[in-house]
Amino acid sequence: MPKRRIEGPEGGHPAFVAGLVSFEFWNNDDETYRDKALRDLAHDCRERLNISAVMIVAGGEPESGRIAFSGAARNLSQAESLASDVMKFLDEKAPARIVGDNWIAEEIP
């Protein structure tokens, strides 16, 4: 017999969040610096917020880079809060300007 999900005091179903944040290193085409800076930022994000985060390099664009992230939460509102925390952390610690972000939070039925 399958186990039934028991709703917690916050209600709702478990949820996840996933996103992609784009950075622009204006007038700095040092790919070694960019790669290390974004790799370190993704590592700090993983440690601080207990999420998955990885650097993604835009091929052929030495001044650009991205970080992809994902995480799980108890419910949708906590997933949205987690995305907000990630964006705040990246905005405060980013070694370059954030030029785009795209994230989604969804319930897992």
CATH number at residue 33: 3.30.70
- Encode pLDDT of 37-77 as tens digits: 999 999 999 999 999 999 997 677 788 899 999 999 999 99
- Number of helical H runs and strand E runs in the chain: 2, 4
Asked whether residue 11 is domain-assigned, the answer is no
Beta-sheet pairing, 15-24 with 64-73: antiparallel
Our count of domains for the chain comes to 1
Share of the chain above pLDDT 90, in %: 70
Asked whether residue 95 is domain-assigned, the answer is yes
Asked whether residue 9 is domain-assigned, the answer is no
Residue partners of 2: CB distance under 8 A and separation at least 6: none
Asked whether residue 15 is domain-assigned, the answer is no
The dihedral region occupied by 6, where left means phi > 0, alpha psi between -120 and 50, and beta the remainder, is beta
pLDDT score, position 7: 54
Asked whether residue 83 is domain-assigned, the answer is yes
Compute the residue count for the chain: 109
Mean pLDDT of 88-104: 94
Token couple for 77: 């509102």
**This prediction's pTM:** 0.83
The SS3 call for residue 18 is strand
